[in-house]
């Protein structure tokens, strides 16, 4: 598939089509003279056990995909990548771009309680509460007073989230932010049932108290095995939801999941197909490669020697053969990355952010990498300490790490190990900077380059590298302080240049979404951002 063709759909949520000749869980079967209606059940490989099911604390795509099925935020992205009315039936924006007034529809929680503006205010302030230590608290910093409160320099009552009445929520921003409306579709912006959360502090750990307001509700959670979601009869748009049940299999082992798919025990796999199987699937009708505006990269813990030296980090980044990785390991038409922000983000109506700046902030150059390593005090790798690459349980990450292990040994004369940890433990190690080098991937939370760029501000909730640069912080602040799109974009381009010059991260490639789905599964949408799959409109034919 041509990469340009892939990118042409990167700003759209692509409706997945299925495979011919492979029976899904809802295959029609004859019953006398008539065919039975198919069971409206989809079985989805959910990647892994969620780190948490608290929207205030979750940071990963596996959790976000489930949360998207369980909750309605103020808005919800449609098949054209546009935020549409969800919990909010309408909204207005003041002429200066600062005041957003959301009118909530008459909606109910899964337990029958009414969804109110207070539920949104409660949930958002909960994220911002310094005691919550939410990695995503910075996504609320657009709101006036939010950053001060989260940083311990302000009060909750000074955050400009105002309940006008039970169905009206007013939000005042500190500066115009064109990306704000898209953010209101992200799971960190989910409302919470205040009464339930306050009565049950562990509400998010079991189905009994997991009250949600989205298309589905949680029925069962068999940890590390299966989470069962069922249609929420109290959902305001329940008539649109055709699916009766969504079974999310929480399997770390992709080979096990693939075997289940082949034996008709799974219906949908997104980005979890074992890499060794991809060549044989090339012409299969149930196999698709969709756009994914995301970046695969390695984090460097700059608090640890010798990774505190930019020359070492650059040497490591420049001594990797990215083409070999995408052609021989990932094998799903990924594009080598020599920049941080991927393709697929409009700079203006005619330009793509990545195409404007190019994909060449640095280059692969073994000789230059060797020179930099020598300048850092490790000629030919002599005296370089043994480092470990941290990866989460996934055979592709393991293969990539092993390939890089060999590249660094051959090109730089250094030895690194590979440490494998399950999803939750891996995330915790990153958050606590308990690693040397860590594999990472970043999928955008909304369709604006800022979703990539504000990650690496000093002490940012998702920075997880220990890196800090005052000029970088200033540029991100500048981009967030203006509604002038040209000024915003230039500031982000300049910040990206600093990021790539100092290299606290090493980009490897821009993702795609290799996907398996059966022919009789319809209406599943694969966004190029935010979640692996959207199931609100899914059904079995």
pLDDT in tens, 236-290: 999 999 999 999 999 999 999 999 999 999 999 999 999 999 999 989 999 999 9
Average of pLDDT values for 445-453?
92
Dihedral sign (CA 464, 469, 473, 476): negative
Average of pLDDT values for 316-336?
97
- On the question of pLDDT at 374 being above 70, the answer is yes
Give, in order, the Cα–Cα distances in Å from 413 to each of 370, 380, 503.
Answer: 9, 6, 20
Domains of the chain from N-terminus onward: 290-512 (3.10.105.10)
- On the question of pLDDT at 157 being above 60, the answer is yes
Give, in order, the Cα–Cα distances in Å from 182 to each of 286, 417, 445, 506.
Answer: 31, 40, 8, 28
pLDDT tier, 515 (very low <50, low <70, confident <90, very high otherwise): very high
- On the question of pLDDT at 4 being above 90, the answer is no
CA distance 393 to 370: 31
pLDDT of residue 232: 98
- On the question of pLDDT at 499 being above 90, the answer is yes
pLDDT of residue 16: 39
CA distance 249 to 46: 5
Mapped onto helix, strand or coil, the DSSP state of residue 219 is: strand
Q: What is the mean pLDDT of the chain?
A: 92
Percent over 70 (pLDDT), the chain: 94
CA distance 192 to 70: 11
- On the question of pLDDT at 33 being above 80, the answer is no
CA distance 414 to 405: 9
Percent of residues in the chain assigned helix, strand, coil, to nearest 5: 35, 20, 45
Give residues with Cβ within 8 angstroms of 345, minimum separation 6: 293, 352, 353, 354, 444, 447, 448, 449
CA distance 479 to 251: 40
pLDDT tier, 129 (very low <50, low <70, confident <90, very high otherwise): very high
CA distance 413 to 394: 27
pLDDT in tens, 347-358: 988 899 999 999
pLDDT in tens, 34-90: 567 899 999 999 999 999 999 999 999 999 999 999 999 999 998 877 889 999 999
Mapped onto helix, strand or coil, the DSSP state of residue 463 is: coil
Q: How many CB atoms lie within 10 A of CB 93?
A: 14
pLDDT tier, 230 (very low <50, low <70, confident <90, very high otherwise): very high
pTM (predicted TM-score): 0.87
pLDDT in tens, 9-23: 333 334 333 333 333
Q: Which of 468, 450, 470 lies closest to 459 in space, CA to CA? A: 468
CA distance 519 to 118: 43
pLDDT in tens, 328-351: 999 999 999 999 999 999 998 889
CA distance 132 to 52: 13
């Amino acid at each position: 598939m041509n990469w340009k063709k892939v990118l042409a759909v990167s700003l759209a949520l692509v409706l997945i089509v299925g495979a011919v000749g492979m029976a899904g869980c809802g295959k029609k079967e004859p019953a006398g003279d008539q065919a039975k209606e198919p069971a409206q059940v989809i079985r989805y490989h959910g990647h892994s056990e969620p780190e948490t099911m608290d929207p205030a604390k979750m940071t990963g795509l596996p959790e976000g995909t489930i949360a998207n099925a369980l909750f309605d935020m103020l808005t919800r992205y449609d098949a054209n990548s546009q935020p549409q009315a969800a919990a909010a039936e309408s909204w207005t924006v003041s002429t200066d771009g600062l005041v957003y007034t959301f009118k909530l529809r008459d909606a109910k929680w899964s337990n029958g309680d009414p969804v109110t503006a207070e539920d949104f205010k409660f949930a958002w302030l909960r994220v911002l509460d310094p005691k919550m230590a939410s990695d995503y608290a910075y996504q609320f910093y657009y709101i006036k007073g939010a950053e001060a409160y989260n940083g311990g320099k302000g009060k909750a009552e000074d955050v400009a989230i105002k309940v006008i009445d039970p169905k009206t929520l007013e939000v005042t921003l500190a500066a115009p932010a064109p990306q704000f409306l898209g953010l209101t579709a992200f799971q960190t912006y989910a409302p919470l049932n205040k009464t339930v959360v306050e009565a049950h502090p562990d509400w998010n750990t079991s189905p009994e108290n997991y009250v949600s307001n989205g298309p589905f509700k949680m029925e069962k959670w068999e940890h590390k095995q299966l989470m069962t979601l069922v249609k929420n009869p109290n959902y305001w748009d329940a008539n649109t939801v055709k699916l009766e049940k969504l079974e999310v299999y929480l399997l770390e082992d992709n080979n096990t999941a693939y075997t289940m798919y082949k034996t008709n025990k799974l219906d949908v796999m997104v980005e979890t197909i074992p890499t060794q199987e991809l060549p044989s699937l090339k012409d299969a009708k149930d196999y698709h490669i969709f756009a994914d505006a995301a970046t695969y990269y390695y984090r460097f813990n700059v608090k640890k020697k010798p990774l505190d030296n930019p020359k070492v980090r650059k040497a490591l980044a420049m001594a990797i053969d990215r083409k070999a990785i995408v052609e021989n390991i990932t094998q799903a038409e990924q594009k080598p990355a020599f920049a941080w922000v991927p393709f697929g983000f409009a700079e203006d109506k005619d330009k793509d952010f990545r195409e404007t700046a190019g994909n060449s902030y640095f280059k692969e150059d073994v000789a230059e990498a060797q020179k930099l390593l020598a300048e850092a005090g490790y000629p030919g790798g002599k005296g370089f300490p043994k480092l470990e690459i941290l990866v989460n349980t996934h055979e592709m990450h393991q293969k990539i790490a092993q390939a890089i292990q060999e590249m660094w040994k051959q090109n730089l004369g250094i030895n690194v190990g590979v440490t494998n940890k399950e999803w939750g433990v891996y995330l915790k190690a990153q958050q606590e900077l308990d690693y040397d080098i860590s594999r990472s991937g970043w999928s955008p939370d909304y369709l604006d380059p800022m979703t990539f760029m504000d990650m690496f501000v000093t002490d940012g909730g998702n920075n997880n590298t220990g890196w800090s640069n005052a000029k970088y912080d200033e540029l991100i602040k500048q981009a967030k302080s203006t509604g002038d799109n040209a000024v915003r974009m230039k500031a982000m381009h300049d910040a990206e240049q600093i990021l790539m010059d100092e290299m606290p991260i090493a980009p490897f490639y821009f993702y795609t979404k290799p996907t398996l789905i059966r022919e009789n599964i319809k209406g599943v949408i694969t966004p190029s951002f935010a979640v692996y799959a959207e199931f609100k409109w899914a059904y079995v034919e």
